[in-house]
């Protein structure tokens, strides 16, 4: 089946397109600029056509031969987003009719109350739904409330508010009921709707199994994230307008996006029917499981996430290059590089032999003090050392680190197991730069947990230049000083000693 995806640079579209490809569909993506999809990991599996839904003349090529067309774009964040989305929907419907498209699928928002709404966001979503349903093409409208997944604007608001505010004064809408849904289930419904009978032209409420207030969502997020219970006091004077500015102050979500989203929370968002479950069967994730996947955790297994791949557990939660910079939570990075007068093989030999009795090529006293402090806090400290003096394996302990990934000759990534309010990684890379030179890339990455994590990073940041700066310099010097054979090649590390094997 040939599918057209609009909004492929957005949160849902960017996750839907590769899943449609995996299901065996031919996928065409409509974008104002093909360059915006150049770096997504699935770019080679789709056809990209440039066009603009505000310009009908650019649409025929995109719709030619299409059987199912997904309307996933929206102009939220623009001052005139209602007008822009209205025009886009009309042009989309007209182009689909002319091309003989068999079905339109639209992901909208909760249906506004029968008495009307003051929320421009909900009003616009309902208007777009009506335009598409009134077209000559059978249309399925999915009315989704808060979508739980890293990168979703609604989820990012929930994430930042809960993590950054142990105590908060909130508007009354935090007591409104919401039926959140995992992004994985939204994608499953979107894909399943492609096979609906042509006689179906209607909207469907979609939601997960849990009905919660926003306040309960924050408390349960805190529990899944390992944060203390939040102290929340709802107050009447906080209007949606004030609430939006409050959200903009506390979170990095732009005010232009936060304002309409907060305005839509004045209404409850609970499914009034569940007909979609009969047409697209499957088990939906509960709120806690959805949050756990969005945070890259598995609740019933001792699995930690790699910051480099975000989850490795649920592909729907993985970040994409097209996701906004404010999505994915706070990630602090200390990144340093240095050109080394030694081949990459020499630099790698130094990288792989780090830690234990070999030391950390930094300030020994500072490293020891940090190890003692960790021991006093109940952590592992530096006492574990390393199994072998020269070789490392994925999964083994290395002082207070765990070896998470090795790409022999180029990459070593360590995950911290010390007591810190968050998760931390140390990454070291050896990058070839000619026969006699290389580049050493060193990154310390910290994913804070709550306000304590933010405070911890702020407290240690002044010492990073001293400790990690010294480490950068000394690693480069050690690689340069390694002995070489007469032909200039680095001598290999000595084989594992019996003592090292027994340790």
Instruction: Name the more confident of 26 and 79.
Output: 26
pLDDT at 498: 35
Whether residues 362 and 435 share a domain: the answer is yes
Q: Domain count for the chain, please give it.
A: 2
In-domain check, residue 430: yes
- Interstrand relation of 2-6 and 68-71 (parallel, antiparallel or unpaired): parallel
Say if residue 248 is in the same domain as residue 277. Answer: yes
pLDDT tens, position by position, 385-421: 788 888 998 888 888 888 989 999 999 999 988 888 8
269 lies in the same domain as 418: no
Statement to judge: residues 48 and 85 lie in one domain: yes
Would the pLDDT of 222 be above 70?
Answer: yes
Query: Which CATH number does the domain housing residue 422 bear?
Result: 3.30.530.20
Helix (H) or strand (E) holding 90: helix 81-99
Residue of higher predicted confidence among 316 and 390: 390
Q: How far apart are CA 317 and CA 322, in angstroms?
A: 13
Q: Are 426 and 401 in contact (CB under 8 A)?
A: yes
3-state secondary structure of 393: coil
* pLDDT, position 309: 40
**Domain enclosing residue 394, as ranges:** 332-502
Q: Which two tokens stand for residue 207?
A: 């939601």
Tokens of 84: 């822009």
3-state helix vs strand vs coil in the chain, percent to 5: 40, 20, 40
Q: Of the spans 11-15, 90-94, 316-320, 375-379, which averages the highest pLDDT? A: 90-94
pTM of this prediction exceeds 0.75: no
Residue 479: predicted pLDDT: 93
Q: Is residue 255 over pLDDT 60?
A: yes
52 is a domain residue = yes
The pLDDT score that the predictor gives to residue 45 is 94
User: Quick one: 261 and 128 in the same domain?
Assistant: yes
CA proximity to 140, closest of 203, 79, 192 = 203
Domain-embedded: residue 325? no
Single out the residue in 256, 283, 317 at which a domain terminates. 317
Residue 149 lies in a domain: yes
The DSSP secondary structure of 130-167, one letter per residue, reads: HHHHTSSS-EEEEE--SEESTT-HHHHHHHHHHHH-SE
Whether 48 maps to a domain, the answer reads yes
Q: Is residue 488's pLDDT more than 60?
A: no
The DSSP symbol for 9 reads T
Question: 3-class SS at 444?
Answer: strand
Domain boundary among 294, 317, 340: 317
Give yes or no: residues 295 and 151 share one domain.
yes
pLDDT score, position 102: 97
| 464 has a pLDDT exceeding 80 | yes
d(CA 158, CA 153): 9
Asked if pLDDT for residue 66 goes beyond 90, the answer is yes
Q: How many CB atoms lie within 10 A of CB 382?
A: 20
Give the pLDDT mean for 216-244. 81
In the chain, what percentage of residues exceed pLDDT 70?
84
Stronger pLDDT, 219 or 457, i.e. the higher one:
219
Q: Using CB atoms within 10 Å of the CB of residue 258, give its burial: 0 to 12 exposed, 13 to 18 middle, 19+ buried.
A: buried
Instruction: Provide the pLDDT for residue 456.
Output: 86
Domain membership flag for residue 257? yes
For residues 82-88, average pLDDT: 94
User: Over the range 276-307, which residues count as b (16 or more CB within 10 Å of their CB) and which as e?
Assistant: beeebeeebbbbebbbbbbbbbbeeeeeebbb
E strand segments, 349-437? 397-398, 401-407, 411-416, 422-432
Q: 96 and 238 in one domain?
A: yes
Q: Which of 102, 190, 113 is CA-nearest to residue 144?
A: 190
What is the pLDDT averaged over residues 208-213?
Answer: 95
Residue 324 inside a domain? The answer is no
Token match 């609604």: residue? 154
Q: Coil, strand, or helix at residue 213?
A: strand
Residues 267 and 369 reside in one and the same domain: no
pLDDT of 57 above 70: yes
C-alpha distances (whole Å) from 443 to each of 58, 349, 406 are: 45, 18, 15
3-state DSSP assignment of residue 443: strand
Q: Are residues 307 and 345 in the same domain?
A: no
Neighbours of 488 (CB within 10 A): 9
> Quick one: CA dihedral 364, 369, 372, 373, positive or negative?
negative
Interval 112-147: pLDDT, tens:
887 777 788 888 999 999 999 999 999 999 999 999
| CATH number, residue 76 | 3.40.50.720
User: Cα–Cα distance between 111 and 35 in angstroms, integer?
Assistant: 35
Q: Please determine, for residue 468, whether its predicted confidence score (pLDDT) is greater than 60.
A: yes
- Per the model's pLDDT, the better-predicted residue between 296 and 395 turns out to be 395
124: in domain: yes
Give the residue with greater pLDDT, 465 vs 223: 223
The 10s digit of each residue's pLDDT in 164-185 is: 888 887 777 788 899 999 999 9
Report the distance separating Cα 378 and Cα 12, nearest Å.
43
* Nearest to 97, CA basis, from 66, 135, 62, 44: 135
pLDDT at 198 over 80: yes
Three-state DSSP at 35 gives helix
Statement to judge: residues 111 and 233 lie in one domain: yes
* CA distances (Å), origin 182, targets 149, 189, 252, 413: 6, 11, 22, 30
CB neighbours (10 Å) of residue 134? Answer: 10
pLDDT of amino acid 62? 96
Listed residues 283, 317, 351: the one ending a domain: 317
Tell which wins on pLDDT, 78 or 500: 78
- Same domain? For 161 and 257 the reply is yes
Residue 337 and residue 290 share a domain: no
């Amino acid at each position: 089946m040939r599918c057209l995806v609009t909004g492929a640079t957005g949160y849902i579209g960017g996750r839907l397109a590769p899943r449609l490809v995996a299901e065996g569909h031919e996928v065409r993506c409509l974008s104002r600029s093909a360059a915006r999809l150049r770096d997504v990991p699935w770019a080679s599996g789709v056809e990209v056509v440039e066009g603009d839904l505000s310009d009908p003349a650019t649409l025929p090529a995109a719709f030619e031969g299409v059987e199912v067309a997904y309307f996933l774009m929206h102009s939220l964040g623009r001052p005139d987003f209602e007008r822009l989305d209205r025009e886009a929907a009309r042009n989309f419907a007209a182009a689909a009719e002319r091309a003989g498209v068999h079905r339109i699928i639209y992901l909208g928002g909760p249906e506004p109350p029968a008495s009307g709404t003051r929320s421009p966001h909900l009003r616009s979503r309902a208007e777009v739904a009506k335009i598409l349903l009134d077209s000559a093409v059978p249309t399925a409208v999915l009315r989704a409330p808060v979508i739980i997944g890293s990168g979703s604007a609604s989820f990012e608001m929930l994430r930042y508010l809960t993590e950054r505010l142990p105590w908060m004064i909130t508007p009354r809408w935090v007591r409104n009921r919401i039926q959140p849904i995992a992004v994985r289930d939204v994608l499953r419904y979107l894909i399943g709707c492609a096979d609906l009978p042509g006689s179906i032209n209607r909207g469907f409420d979609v939601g997960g199994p849990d009905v919660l207030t926003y306040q309960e969502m924050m408390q349960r997020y805190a529990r899944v994230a390992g944060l203390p219970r939040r102290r929340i006091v709802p107050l009447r004077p906080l209007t949606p307008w004030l609430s939006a500015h409050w959200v903009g102050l506390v979170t990095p979500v732009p005010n232009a996006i936060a304002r309409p989203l907060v305005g839509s929370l004045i209404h409850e968002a609970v499914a009034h029917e569940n007909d979609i479950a009969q047409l697209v069967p499957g088990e939906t994730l509960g709120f806690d499981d959805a949050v756990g996947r969005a945070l890259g955790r598995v609740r019933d297994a001792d699995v930690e996430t790699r910051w480099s791949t975000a989850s490795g557990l649920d592909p729907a939660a993985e970040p994409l290059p097209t996701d906004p910079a404010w999505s994915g939570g706070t990630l602090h990075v200390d990144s340093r590089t240095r050109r080394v007068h030694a081949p990459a093989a020499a630099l790698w030999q130094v990288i792989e032999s780090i830690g234990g009795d070999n030391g950390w090529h930094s300030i020994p006293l500072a490293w020891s003090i940090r190890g003692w402090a960790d021991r006093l806090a109940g952590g592992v400290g530096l006492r574990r050392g390393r199994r072998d003096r020269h070789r490392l394996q994925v999964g083994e302990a290395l002082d207070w680190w765990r070896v998470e990934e090795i790409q022999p000759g180029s990459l070593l990534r360590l995950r911290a197991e010390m007591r810190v309010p968050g998760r931390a990684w140390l990454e070291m890379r050896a990058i070839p730069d000619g026969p006699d030179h290389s580049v050493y890339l060193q990154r310390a990455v910290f994913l804070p947990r709550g306000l304590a994590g933010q405070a911890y990073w702020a407290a240690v940041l002044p010492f990073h230049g001293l400790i990690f700066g010294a480490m950068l310099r000394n690693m480069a010097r050690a690689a340069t000083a390694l002995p070489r054979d007469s032909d200039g090649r680095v001598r290999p590390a000595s084989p594992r000693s019996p003592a090292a094997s027994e340790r």
